[in-house]
Amino acid sequence: MTSNSSADHQSKREFVITRLLDAPRALVFKAWTDPAHMKHWWGPHNFEIPVCRMDVRPGGAYRIVMRGADGVDYPVKGIYREITPPERLVMTMDVSEHSKEWHDHVKPNRRPDETNPAGEMLMTVTFKEVAGKTELTIRVLFESVEIRNSMVKMGMTEGWTQSLERLESELKKM
Amino acid sequence: MLADPLTATFSALADPTRRAILARLSQGETSVTELAEPFEMTLPGISKHLKVLERAGLIARGREAQWRPCRLEPGPLKDVSHWVEHYRKFWEQSLDRLGDYLKELQAKERKQRHRKKSG
């Protein structure tokens, strides 16, 4: 049962982006699942991909390293959860290996031990055929540990927990 | 006359509506209106329960009006949206490149097919 509690709703965020690509579905799917293709498009402009390892099967791992013009590497890694050609891909995405400077930049107020600002992300990519073209949709579900922690910090939950602890210790005395 | 903490807690928990309120609040801060929703109770009715819970130290209420919406600390939320924007840029550019790359690929394919035909 998926929980619709406000805690879940608030600690999880979904990011969605859609593009209509002028290419058949099978080709787009190939671009996503063949490292020989992947390294030609993954990443921002002016980035190259020195490492592109993909074990495209459920449970298989991928590792893609983007390198900027300044020579700094940005590794992205994850595990494939579902592969359904030519319509759907599900995989995790982990940017914890990005540099400390990058983490500082995107999340200046993070805790020193926090290296994954958005937690582990679950990415679902769907390929829908639309008149010979492909509607590509990327949905990323990520849980913000920070949001979850800040909710736990909130007075009400803590107050209740503390009270129940007090109750528990009182009961022990009885 | 103040009841001892144990009595106050027990009597606070002795009511099923109050237990349900606590269960709901354990999932996150919310407004009095939202709390009242699942019960067919008026806002003053819910407020009575909230007072009991507050006196027992089981909940904390702000001094603002009843209409306190669900609120997260702005700090963490700001960090998350900053990250999301950064992430969106990554995808906008990657998909731009994917679009260009697919055009290239198909153009190559067409050339090869054309050569085969005329070869």
Task: Say yes or no: B43 and B76 in one domain.
Answer: no
d(CA A101, CA B10): 52
Which residue in B73, B77, B98 is closest to A31 by CB distance? B98
Within 10 Å of residue A70's Cβ, how many Cβ atoms? Answer: 6
**Is A93 at the interface with chain B, CB within 8 A?**
no
d(CA B67, CA B69): 6
B65 falls within a domain: no
pLDDT at B61 over 70: no
Mean pLDDT in residue range A27-56: 95
Domain with B91 in it: 72-119
Q: What percent of chain A has pLDDT over 90?
A: 47
Residue B28 to residue A151, Cβ atoms within 8 A? yes
pLDDT at A33 over 90: yes
The ipTM is 0.72
Mean pLDDT in residue range B11-15: 82
- Residues near A142 by beta carbon (within 8 Å), at least 6 away in sequence: A12, A13, A14, A15, A118, A119, A120, A121, A122
**Is A129 at the interface with chain B, CB within 8 A?**
no
- 3-class DSSP state of A4: coil
Q: Which residue has the tokens 């995808």?
A: B91
B62 falls within a domain: no
Average pLDDT, chain B: 75
Q: What number of CA atoms fall less than 13 Å from residue A59's CA on the CB side?
A: 0
How near does any CA of chain A get to the CA of B16, in Å? 16
Name residue A104's amino acid: D
pLDDT band at B72; cut points 50, 70, 90: very low
Q: For residue A126, what pLDDT is reported?
A: 97
Q: Which residue has the tokens 């958005």?
A: A118
**Is B107 at the interface with chain A, CB within 8 A?**
no
Which CATH number is associated with domain A13-143? 3.30.530.20
Q: Name the DSSP letter for residue B40.
A: T
Task: Say yes or no: B84 and B44 in one domain.
Answer: no
Q: What percent of chain B has pLDDT over 70?
A: 72
pLDDT: which is higher, A172 or B98: B98
Residue B102 to residue A21, Cβ atoms within 8 A? yes
Provide, as residue numbers in chain B, all residues whose Cβ is less than 8 Å from the Cβ of A75: none
Q: What share of residues in chain B are helix, strand, coil (percent, to 5)?
A: 70, 0, 30
- DSSP secondary structure string for all residues of A43-100: SSTT-EEEEEEE--STT-EEEEEEE-TT--EEEEEEEEEEEETTTEEEEEEB-TTS-H
Q: For residue A165, what pLDDT is reported?
A: 60
Q: Which residue has the tokens 């990443």?
A: A43
Task: Say yes or no: B84 and B114 in one domain.
Answer: yes
pLDDT in tens, A69-121: 889 898 999 999 999 999 999 999 988 888 777 777 666 666 666 666 656 78
Which residue in A6, A110, A166 is closest to B70 by CB distance? A6
B66 falls within a domain: no
d(CA A116, CA A106): 10
Instruction: Pick the range with the lowest mean pLDDT from A8-12, A26-30, A140-144.
Output: A8-12
The pTM of this model reads: 0.60
B80 falls within a domain: yes
Average pLDDT, chain A: 79
Q: For residue A142, what pLDDT is reported?
A: 72
Which residue in B56, B90, B99 is closest to A163 by CB distance? B56
User: Where along chain A do its domains lie?
Assistant: 13-143, 144-174
Task: Say yes or no: B51 and B76 in one domain.
Answer: no
B61 falls within a domain: no
Q: For residue A5, what pLDDT is reported?
A: 40
Tell me how many domains chain B contains.
Answer: 2
pLDDT: which is higher, A56 or B86: A56
Q: For residue A102, what pLDDT is reported?
A: 75
Q: What percent of chain B has pLDDT over 90?
A: 19
B11 falls within a domain: yes
Residue A22 to residue B103, Cβ atoms within 8 A? yes
Residue B94 to residue A22, Cβ atoms within 8 A? no
Task: Say yes or no: B37 and B77 in one domain.
Answer: no
Which residue in A41, A42, A160 is closest to B22 by CB distance? A160
Q: Name the DSSP letter for residue B3.
A: P
d(CA A162, CA B13): 14
CA proximity to A33, closest of A55, A17, A14: A55
Task: Say yes or no: B43 and B82 in one domain.
Answer: no
pLDDT at A36 over 80: yes
Pick the residue from chain B with its C-alpha nearest to A40: B101
Q: How many H-runs (helices) and E-runs (strands) does chain B carry?
A: 5, 0
Q: What percent of chain A has pLDDT over 70?
A: 66
- DSSP secondary structure string for all residues of A85-104: TTTEEEEEEB-TTS-HHHHH
Which of 19-58 (B) contact A at CB < 8 A? 22, 25-30, 56-58
Q: For residue A38, what pLDDT is reported?
A: 95
The 3-state secondary structure of B67-115 reads CCCCCCCHHHHHHHHHHHHHHHHHHHHHHHHHHHHHHHHHHHHHHHHHH
Pick the residue from chain A with its C-alpha nearest to B10: A167
Task: Say yes or no: B40 and B81 in one domain.
Answer: no
pLDDT band at B35; cut points 50, 70, 90: confident
